[in-house]
Structure 1
Amino acid sequence: MKMLFRLIALGLLGVFALIAFSLSAPEAAFSAQPTLQPTETAAPLTTPTSVPTPPLLDLPEVDWEDVGAHKKAMKPAFADDVDRFVDANRYFIVARLSFEPDAVFRAAQRVRFTNRTGEALDLLVFRLYANTPALGGRMNVHHVEVNGVKVEPSLSNLRSVMGVPLPVPLQDGESVELRMDFTLVMTRGLNTSYGRFGYVNDVVSATAWYPTLSVYEPGIGWWTDLPSPQGDPSYTEIGLYEVQLTLPAEMVVAMSGVIVETRRNADGTITYRDVTGPMRDHAFQASKRYMVTETRADGTRIVMLHYRDQADSPTDGTKVAMQYAVQALQIFNATFGEYPYAELVVAQNPTPSGVEFPGIIQIAERAWVQGNRFLEVVIAHEIGHQWFYALVGNNQVALPWIDESLTSYTEFVYFRAAYADPKVGEDYVDSFQQRYTNYLARGLPDLPLDLPVRSYVGISYGAIVYTKGPLFFVELEHVIGREMVYAAIAEYFRRHKYGIAATEDVQRAFEDVSKRDLSALFNQWVRGTQPRA
């Protein structure tokens, strides 16, 4: 585990090389060395619990036209955004979580898919991300229906791709309803993909915990790539979610969206009804160790989900974490455009770094300490992802730079605005330039930004995507001015909020706002098709 932290600190592991960033954070802002809490010892992995095929769950019918409940997950000014997504991917999930001693989900979902591809489809593809090596869980879908007719799905790519045949081709504009019953096992001690998925130290971290519709790309087809463990594992479209999750009463839970109903059951469990606005994924965090502290900023309820057993420690970081979260939300609202959701959860977690989900961010438990400079960096970064990944999506496996490089640049935006002394922001940017210079001085490859995760080997993922990437936007500042860069990012956000963007969309927003041809810069830094001066 010590080597894992050292590797992350050096940027060798990718998804989030920010511990390295924190080690050179500006002294004007941070005077003390980072103080990390002792690493908790995870329970050793055990043989996964064998889960016999359960009977089909009682799954209520869904009125897909009624989206009123989903508006509760939005700030009032954005409630009507939900109406645009009546025909988006829709999920209604009923799940029960028990501990045997592994975390075991017995669940079923209804999914409505509306064909917006412009082509007739005879197959729908779902991703069982839990079965990928990146996540290491075990998901089994044991019953599938299409419009009430039982069908036999196909499995491929290590059981991470599930093809569902349609009895009748689905024409463009038509909708179909599917039912799926499934189980999921998270082995006790499992903590994978930088902590985004697993059950460790009595904390359940659940993302991609349900069969998820893949993305259909016109002219290409369904996305079926196996993600690299080095990067983020998923590629999804915006949808609306309703989740009814039952778990032991002693567990405290926070989910994407808002919990609108709570029901205590006679068997010692609680069922939470959760709804989302338009979101790219559904995730939750649950633990008997958690407690909740909350505040409000710019009309959003900020929920700090933190460990009860550490709350009385004089070094507990909850108070400063809340301060950083409020500052980041306000700065990014003012710079890029308003965060539309009613809630934002900041969760202390066994992750070694930080991970983003729609409406939730995980923050390393070892950094949850007053005076730890990494805590501020990681909170700013992960909240930045609410704009770039959660609201403006992209293929994180094929084009990680679009969300990660831009989100790393939001750290610059944060430190420039959060501190009155301009040297704080300048020193922070300079620390990136120094690391990038040191990387090149070692003779390592100066790769383009728009490569898939698997093309970056060793330290190149952190050095290119997380260090060169944000410096590209600084180079744009030198050419068109900082205010113009901020305005272009805001326009990019406005155009592609709730959508999926590609490299060309980033370039187009900058060129339209600046009224400049920026092809040379994008070709030099992003595509690598022209040498840099």
Structure 2
Amino acid sequence: MWKVLLFLILFISAPLSLAQTDASGNDFFSQGMRPAFMADVADFAEVPQYIFHLALIPDFTQAKLTGTLDLTYTNTTPDALEALVFRLYANLESFGGQAAVSNVTVNGVSVNGISDETGSIVTIPLPQPLLPGEKLSLLMDYAAVVFHGEQHLYNQFSYLETELALASALPLLSVYNPSTGWWREVRHPRGDAVFSETANFDVTLTAPSYLKVITSGSLIEQTESGGMVTLRYAAPLMRDFSIMASAQYETLSSVFDDIQVNVHYLPGKENSAELAMQWVLDSMAAFTNAYGAYVYKELDLVETYTSAGGIEYPGLIVVADDIWRLSDPYFQIVTVHEVAHQWWYSMVGNDQTLYPWLDEALTEYSVAVYWRHVAGEDGYNTAIRTEQGRYREFEGDAGAMKIGFAPSDYNDVSYSSIVYGKGAYFFHVLSVAMGQENFAAAIQNYLESYRYRIATPFDLQSILEDAAGVQFDDLFLEWVGYSN
């Protein structure tokens, strides 16, 4: 049924009045980077380049996101590619939306995409194999629908009350591994669903002018006419592009170094927003000092109706409405945790559906790093003891578990206790084994080596071992469950 509905949406919806612009260049994308990192755009010139022209139309029952994609893709793999594979995350059961692509052309040749049974994987056969180093141009039409009032898993793709959460709403290339081919995971019982390469996003979005729209990246151009606003965003060297929107959002802004920091909140939450802003600024200071710089021009924190506590997206983090209050201590912890994800997941990528501990455990450990920054060693030690007690209490009832497995290998309680709590404590164990100075240097090297790239647990282990001058096979086997 969803395929029939989307066919109607694609071909009955009013056509977009969005003029195609010239192809984006390094100068355009560099506007979304801090000055010290603008040159990275040219250094990573072969990442995929997405140019979207979109219209967002909400009504009382649903919201439609329709438009076009113009993709420039360079084959940086060692293999000749016979197809490209896109992910339509809106079609996952855990997202609960509907999405489809149509009118696909590759280098001017019309091709038919092939969807899997979930609709979340679309294979685009190429007219001829794309050799390593070769480039192609792909055009497609796209439409997605989110239904008002429906809730699925974490409500990350939702239209609740007046708020739109359109996380990972656009078609994204999957990740190609020369050993295993294109990534095709469709299970999403818990944790994060998205696995994608760094790319450049040039997104033009037209929406009703009463909406306040918040996205990944930075707003570069804005025009308004006839009750509609057209917004153009540059999101350089990011793994995804997500959209939040509401007529009710109010905004508090500040600056950290040369980074614009915005907190978007619902009416009546001004005091909570002021606290959240201070936590974000303190977190950015802590992680910049401990790990290295945040590279993007902007960071946005948004209050949403997610049921997950908080969720990270590149350049954008969300924290749940139901903990967005001064009396909830979880509010601070979640906010700090999600800021840390801008280092671990956003800048340094990993397969969150296979190795969630790689970003979640280091991110949760970073909460203790934050406490060291704001409250000294006593703050750090208290945070680490909390993580230790969290997982030991669980293992006291359920038995010992390793931190290194996929989300489907845990239930909701063990996922939190083991991947987050025990995982954070594992990084503390490593810091003690290596000495704090060596450990800090290793984590800084990890960021520098894998910024904009995808890391594996084996990459991290090698960097730690190089810094320590010893092998950590036994430690990784004991805590993670596998080693190099």
Post-superposition offset of 1:52? 5.4
Contact (CA 8 Å) 1:355, 1:382: kept in 2 or not?
Answer: yes
Counterpart among 414, 417, 422 of residue 460 in structure 1: 414
Contact (CA 8 Å) 1:249, 1:270: kept in 2 or not?
Answer: yes
Asked whether 1:237 is paired with 2:237, we answer no
Contact (CA 8 Å) 1:59, 1:109: kept in 2 or not?
Answer: no
Partner of 2:342: helix, strand, or coil?
Answer: coil
Contact (CA 8 Å) 2:33, 2:295: kept in 1 or not?
Answer: yes
What is the match of residue 278 of structure 2? 323
Compared CA separation, residues 157 and 503, structure 1 to 2 (3 A):
farther
Post-superposition offset of 1:372? 3.0
What is the match of residue 47 of structure 2? 88
What is the match of residue 257 of structure 2? 298
Instruction: Give the TM-score normalised by the residue count of structure 2.
Output: 0.94
Post-superposition offset of 1:477? 2.2
Instruction: Give the TM-score normalised by the residue count of structure 1.
Output: 0.86
Compared CA separation, residues 157 and 464, structure 1 to 2 (3 A):
farther
What is the match of residue 382 of structure 1? 338
What is the match of residue 361 of structure 2? 405
Letter in 1 for 2:363: T
Counterpart among 361, 364, 371 of residue 320 in structure 2: 364
Contact (CA 8 Å) 1:73, 1:341: kept in 2 or not?
Answer: yes
Letter in 1 for 2:391: Y
What is the match of residue 273 of structure 1? 232
After TM superposition, list the pairs within 5 Å mapping 1:198-237 onto structure 2: 198-237=158-197
Counterpart among 35, 47, 51 of residue 9 in structure 2: 51
Partner of 1:419: helix, strand, or coil?
Answer: helix
Post-superposition offset of 1:157? 4.0
Contact (CA 8 Å) 1:57, 1:108: kept in 2 or not?
Answer: no
Letter in 1 for 2:57: S
Listed one character per residue, the Cα deviations across residues 358-411 of structure 1 (whole Å, up to 9, x for unaligned) are 000001122222343222111110000000000000011011111111111101
CA distance in 2, matches of 1:67, 1:529: 40
CA distance in 1, matches of 2:124, 2:21: 21
CA distance in 2, matches of 1:528, 1:178: 40
Cα root mean square deviation, aligned: 1.9
CA distance in 2, matches of 1:451, 1:484: 27
Asked whether 1:310 is paired with 2:268, we answer yes
Post-superposition offset of 1:322? 0.6
Once the two structures are overlaid, the 10-residue window that deviates more, 467-476 or 50-59, is 50-59
Compared CA separation, residues 173 and 65, structure 1 to 2 (3 A):
farther
CA distance in 1, matches of 2:220, 2:291: 29
Partner of 1:355: helix, strand, or coil?
Answer: strand
What is the match of residue 433 of structure 1? 388
Letter in 2 for 1:116: T
Letter in 1 for 2:329: R
After TM superposition, list the pairs within 5 Å mapping 1:104-503 onto structure 2: 104-266=64-226, 268-307=227-266, 309-311=267-269, 316-352=271-307, 353-420=309-376, 422-442=377-397, 444-503=398-457
CA distance in 1, matches of 2:14, 2:58: 19
Give unpaired runs (5+ residues) of structure 2: none
What is the match of residue 41 of structure 1? none
Once the two structures are overlaid, the 10-residue window that deviates more, 95-104 or 158-167, is 95-104
Letter in 1 for 2:306: T
Listed one character per residue, the Cα deviations across residues 464-483 of structure 1 (whole Å, up to 9, x for unaligned) are 11111111111112211223
Letter in 1 for 2:316: I
Post-superposition offset of 1:145? 1.1
Q: How many residues align?
A: 476
Give unpaired runs (5+ residues) of structure 1: 1-47
Post-superposition offset of 1:193? 4.2
Post-superposition offset of 1:453? 1.4
What is the match of residue 510 of structure 1? 464
Letter in 2 for 1:85: F
What is the match of residue 37 of structure 2? 78
Asked whether 1:523 is paired with 2:456, we answer no
